[in-house]
Structure 1
Protein backbone atom coordinates (compact mmCIF):
# COMPACT_ATOMS: atom_id res chain seq x y z
CA UNK A 1 0.00 0.00 0.00
CA UNK A 2 2.79 2.44 0.94
CA UNK A 3 4.53 1.59 -2.30
CA UNK A 4 1.40 2.35 -4.36
CA UNK A 5 0.86 5.68 -2.61
CA UNK A 6 4.51 6.61 -3.16
CA UNK A 7 4.27 5.74 -6.85
CA UNK A 8 1.06 7.75 -7.25
CA UNK A 9 2.56 10.77 -5.50
CA UNK A 10 5.68 10.50 -7.63
CA UNK A 11 3.58 10.34 -10.82
CA UNK A 12 1.51 13.36 -9.75
CA UNK A 13 4.67 15.31 -9.03
CA UNK A 14 6.21 14.29 -12.34
CA UNK A 15 3.19 15.18 -14.49
CA UNK A 16 2.40 18.44 -12.69
CA UNK A 17 5.75 20.02 -13.51
CA UNK A 18 5.55 22.81 -16.06
CA UNK A 19 7.42 22.31 -19.25
CA UNK A 20 9.22 25.22 -20.85
CA UNK A 21 8.88 25.93 -24.53
CA UNK A 22 12.20 26.15 -26.27
CA UNK A 23 13.12 29.02 -28.50
CA UNK A 24 13.79 28.14 -32.11
CA UNK A 25 17.28 29.61 -31.66
CA UNK A 26 18.79 26.88 -29.52
CA UNK A 27 22.54 26.49 -29.37
CA UNK A 28 22.42 23.41 -31.57
CA UNK A 29 20.34 25.09 -34.29
CA UNK A 30 22.36 28.28 -34.78
CA UNK A 31 26.08 28.51 -34.06
CA UNK A 32 28.72 31.19 -34.02
CA UNK A 33 30.48 31.05 -37.36
CA UNK A 34 27.28 30.38 -39.36
CA UNK A 35 26.81 32.33 -42.59
CA UNK A 36 24.06 34.99 -42.66
CA UNK A 37 22.52 33.50 -45.82
CA UNK A 38 22.26 30.08 -44.16
CA UNK A 39 20.56 31.60 -41.08
CA UNK A 40 18.05 33.58 -43.16
CA UNK A 41 17.32 30.53 -45.31
CA UNK A 42 16.71 28.47 -42.15
CA UNK A 43 14.63 31.01 -40.15
CA UNK A 44 13.17 33.29 -42.82
CA UNK A 45 13.33 37.04 -43.15
CA UNK A 46 14.13 38.87 -39.92
CA UNK A 47 11.73 41.18 -38.09
CA UNK A 48 14.24 44.04 -38.27
CA UNK A 49 17.84 44.59 -39.37
CA UNK A 50 20.68 47.08 -38.85
CA UNK A 51 23.56 47.35 -41.32
CA UNK A 52 26.70 49.50 -41.22
CA UNK A 53 30.44 49.58 -41.94
CA UNK A 54 33.05 50.17 -39.25
CA UNK A 55 36.84 49.65 -39.25
CA UNK A 56 36.75 48.07 -42.72
CA UNK A 57 34.19 45.47 -41.59
CA UNK A 58 30.60 45.07 -42.76
CA UNK A 59 28.31 44.58 -39.74
CA UNK A 60 24.75 43.26 -39.93
CA UNK A 61 22.45 42.75 -36.96
CA UNK A 62 19.17 40.92 -37.59
CA UNK A 63 16.31 40.51 -35.13
CA UNK A 64 13.74 37.74 -34.77
CA UNK A 65 10.75 37.78 -32.39
CA UNK A 66 8.75 34.84 -31.11
CA UNK A 67 6.16 34.23 -28.40
CA UNK A 68 7.35 31.85 -25.70
CA UNK A 69 5.07 30.41 -23.04
CA UNK A 70 6.53 29.70 -19.61
CA UNK A 71 4.29 28.30 -16.84
CA UNK A 72 1.17 29.88 -18.30
CA UNK A 73 2.77 33.28 -18.93
CA UNK A 74 3.57 34.59 -22.39
CA UNK A 75 6.78 36.40 -23.21
CA UNK A 76 7.99 37.95 -26.45
CA UNK A 77 11.55 36.78 -26.96
CA UNK A 78 13.76 38.91 -29.19
CA UNK A 79 16.83 37.21 -30.61
CA UNK A 80 19.49 39.50 -32.11
CA UNK A 81 22.13 37.93 -34.31
CA UNK A 82 25.24 40.00 -35.13
CA UNK A 83 27.27 39.20 -38.23
CA UNK A 84 30.74 40.48 -39.09
CA UNK A 85 31.36 40.20 -42.85
CA UNK A 86 28.36 37.81 -43.07
CA UNK A 87 29.65 35.46 -40.33
CA UNK A 88 27.71 35.11 -37.04
CA UNK A 89 29.79 36.48 -34.15
CA UNK A 90 27.21 37.23 -31.43
CA UNK A 91 23.83 35.91 -30.23
CA UNK A 92 21.72 37.95 -27.79
CA UNK A 93 18.26 37.30 -26.38
CA UNK A 94 15.90 39.52 -24.42
CA UNK A 95 12.41 38.74 -23.18
CA UNK A 96 9.44 40.96 -22.46
CA UNK A 97 6.40 39.83 -20.47
CA UNK A 98 3.02 40.40 -22.10
CA UNK A 99 0.78 41.99 -19.47
CA UNK A 100 -2.67 40.41 -19.30
CA UNK A 101 -1.93 38.42 -22.45
CA UNK A 102 -2.16 41.52 -24.67
CA UNK A 103 -0.31 40.85 -27.86
CA UNK A 104 1.98 43.67 -28.82
CA UNK A 105 5.45 43.83 -30.25
CA UNK A 106 7.70 46.75 -29.49
CA UNK A 107 10.90 47.61 -31.28
CA UNK A 108 13.66 48.38 -28.83
CA UNK A 109 17.39 47.80 -29.03
CA UNK A 110 18.92 44.93 -27.12
CA UNK A 111 22.25 46.68 -27.01
CA UNK A 112 23.13 49.84 -28.89
CA UNK A 113 26.83 49.04 -28.72
CA UNK A 114 27.44 46.88 -31.74
CA UNK A 115 29.29 44.46 -31.85
Structure 2
Protein backbone atom coordinates (compact mmCIF):
# COMPACT_ATOMS: atom_id res chain seq x y z
CA UNK A 1 0.00 0.00 0.00
CA UNK A 2 1.21 3.49 -0.82
CA UNK A 3 2.50 5.13 2.35
CA UNK A 4 1.08 8.49 1.18
CA UNK A 5 -2.44 7.06 1.12
CA UNK A 6 -4.32 8.08 4.23
CA UNK A 7 -7.50 6.42 5.32
CA UNK A 8 -9.38 9.32 6.78
CA UNK A 9 -12.72 10.98 6.20
CA UNK A 10 -11.15 13.75 4.10
CA UNK A 11 -9.93 11.32 1.44
CA UNK A 12 -13.44 10.60 0.17
CA UNK A 13 -15.54 13.17 -1.65
CA UNK A 14 -18.68 12.14 0.19
CA UNK A 15 -18.33 11.44 3.89
CA UNK A 16 -21.64 9.58 4.09
CA UNK A 17 -22.82 6.34 2.50
CA UNK A 18 -24.50 6.93 -0.85
CA UNK A 19 -28.24 6.33 -1.02
CA UNK A 20 -29.77 4.31 -3.84
CA UNK A 21 -31.08 7.35 -5.76
CA UNK A 22 -27.67 9.05 -5.71
CA UNK A 23 -25.97 5.84 -6.82
CA UNK A 24 -28.43 5.49 -9.68
CA UNK A 25 -28.00 9.11 -10.82
CA UNK A 26 -24.20 8.89 -10.71
CA UNK A 27 -24.23 5.64 -12.70
CA UNK A 28 -26.64 7.16 -15.26
CA UNK A 29 -24.36 10.17 -15.63
CA UNK A 30 -21.40 7.93 -16.37
CA UNK A 31 -23.60 5.92 -18.72
CA UNK A 32 -24.38 9.14 -20.58
CA UNK A 33 -20.67 9.91 -20.85
CA UNK A 34 -19.82 6.38 -21.99
CA UNK A 35 -21.49 6.71 -25.40
CA UNK A 36 -19.41 8.22 -28.24
CA UNK A 37 -22.44 9.86 -29.88
CA UNK A 38 -23.50 11.54 -26.66
CA UNK A 39 -19.93 12.71 -26.04
CA UNK A 40 -19.84 14.24 -29.52
CA UNK A 41 -23.18 15.99 -28.90
CA UNK A 42 -22.10 17.33 -25.50
CA UNK A 43 -18.79 18.48 -26.95
CA UNK A 44 -20.62 20.58 -29.55
CA UNK A 45 -23.03 21.93 -26.94
CA UNK A 46 -20.08 23.01 -24.77
CA UNK A 47 -19.25 25.48 -27.53
CA UNK A 48 -22.70 26.78 -28.49
CA UNK A 49 -26.36 25.90 -28.66
CA UNK A 50 -27.55 23.94 -31.68
CA UNK A 51 -30.80 22.75 -33.18
CA UNK A 52 -31.38 19.04 -33.73
CA UNK A 53 -30.87 19.58 -37.48
CA UNK A 54 -27.58 21.38 -36.92
CA UNK A 55 -26.31 18.62 -34.64
CA UNK A 56 -27.41 15.92 -37.09
CA UNK A 57 -25.64 17.69 -39.95
CA UNK A 58 -22.41 18.38 -38.04
CA UNK A 59 -22.26 14.82 -36.70
CA UNK A 60 -23.42 13.18 -39.94
CA UNK A 61 -26.21 11.38 -38.08
CA UNK A 62 -29.92 10.97 -38.59
CA UNK A 63 -32.24 13.45 -36.95
CA UNK A 64 -34.03 10.66 -35.05
CA UNK A 65 -30.71 9.38 -33.67
CA UNK A 66 -29.78 12.83 -32.40
CA UNK A 67 -33.26 13.39 -30.96
CA UNK A 68 -33.11 10.08 -29.12
CA UNK A 69 -29.72 10.93 -27.57
CA UNK A 70 -30.84 14.44 -26.64
CA UNK A 71 -33.92 13.02 -24.90
CA UNK A 72 -31.66 10.80 -22.78
CA UNK A 73 -29.34 13.73 -21.95
CA UNK A 74 -32.31 15.98 -21.11
CA UNK A 75 -33.75 13.40 -18.69
CA UNK A 76 -30.46 13.58 -16.79
CA UNK A 77 -30.55 17.40 -16.89
CA UNK A 78 -27.29 17.51 -18.84
CA UNK A 79 -28.87 19.53 -21.66
CA UNK A 80 -31.78 21.94 -21.88
CA UNK A 81 -33.64 23.50 -24.78
CA UNK A 82 -35.41 26.64 -25.79
CA UNK A 83 -38.09 26.87 -28.44
CA UNK A 84 -37.96 29.40 -31.28
CA UNK A 85 -41.05 28.88 -33.39
CA UNK A 86 -41.04 25.20 -34.32
CA UNK A 87 -37.30 24.74 -33.74
CA UNK A 88 -35.76 23.50 -30.51
CA UNK A 89 -32.27 24.77 -29.67
CA UNK A 90 -30.28 22.64 -27.24
CA UNK A 91 -27.53 23.85 -24.93
CA UNK A 92 -25.57 22.55 -21.96
CA UNK A 93 -27.43 22.52 -18.67
CA UNK A 94 -24.78 21.41 -16.20
CA UNK A 95 -21.31 22.93 -16.00
CA UNK A 96 -20.17 20.22 -13.55
CA UNK A 97 -20.67 17.52 -16.16
CA UNK A 98 -19.16 19.64 -18.90
CA UNK A 99 -16.08 20.14 -16.72
CA UNK A 100 -15.92 16.39 -16.11
CA UNK A 101 -16.20 15.75 -19.86
CA UNK A 102 -13.53 18.36 -20.56
CA UNK A 103 -11.17 16.76 -18.04
CA UNK A 104 -11.75 13.33 -19.57
CA UNK A 105 -10.97 14.70 -23.04
CA UNK A 106 -7.83 16.42 -21.75
CA UNK A 107 -6.77 13.18 -20.04
CA UNK A 108 -7.35 11.18 -23.23
CA UNK A 109 -5.35 13.61 -25.37
CA UNK A 110 -2.53 14.12 -22.86
CA UNK A 111 0.79 12.71 -24.07
TM-score w.r.t. the length of structure 2 is 0.27
Give the strand-richer structure, 1 or 2: 1
Structure of higher CA gyration radius: 1
TM-score w.r.t. the length of structure 1 is 0.27
Give the helix-richer structure, 1 or 2: 2
